[in-house]
């Protein structure tokens, strides 16, 4: 079972990331990834979609040309969980 992280756990988890930020209006993290073109952005989204299916945790995202805006939150717990940071780590490894 996935558990909601407390404020201290979120701070600790977030400290290991670059450019991910807490959302102001809800308990979630967000980041914008930029690529050289649409094809690279789409390839990133495909890789992330495969990982999301593997761990059964799906992002909220918006793609416009070479940009992918990502928001991660665990709806089942009403906030952030370890799954959000696991997916964020994968995205950082495969993004720009």
CATH number of domain containing 82: 3.30.1360.20
**Dihedral over alpha carbons 71, 86, 94, 75 (to 10 degrees):** -30
The answer to whether 80 touches 10, Cβ cutoff 8 Å, is yes
Per-10-residue mean pLDDT for the chain, 96 residues long? 93 93 96 97 97 96 98 95 97 90
Whether residue 62 is contained in a domain is answered as: yes
Host domain of residue 57: 7-94
Whether residue 17 is contained in a domain is answered as: yes
Give the CB-side neighbour count of residue 70, counting CA atoms within 13 A: 28
Q: What is the pLDDT of residue 43?
A: 97
The answer to whether 21 touches 47, Cβ cutoff 8 Å, is no
Whether residue 70 is contained in a domain is answered as: yes
Q: What is the domain count for the chain?
A: 1
Whether residue 2 is contained in a domain is answered as: no
Q: What is the pLDDT of residue 71?
A: 98
Q: What is the pLDDT of residue 18?
A: 87
Whether residue 89 is contained in a domain is answered as: yes
Strand order in the sheet with 60-64: 21-22, 29-34, 67-72, 60-64
């Amino acid at each position: 079972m996935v558990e909601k992280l407390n404020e201290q756990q979120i701070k600790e988890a977030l400290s290991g990331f670059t450019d991910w930020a807490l959302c102001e209006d809800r308990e979630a993290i967000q980041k914008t990834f930029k690529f050289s073109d649409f094809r690279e952005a789409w390839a990133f989204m495909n890789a992330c979609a495969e990982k999301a299916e593997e761990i059964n945790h799906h992002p909220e995202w918006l793609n416009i040309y070479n940009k992918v805006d990502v928001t991660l939150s665990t709806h089942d717990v009403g906030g952030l969980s370890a799954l959000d940071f696991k997916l964020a780590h994968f995205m950082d490894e495969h993004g720009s």
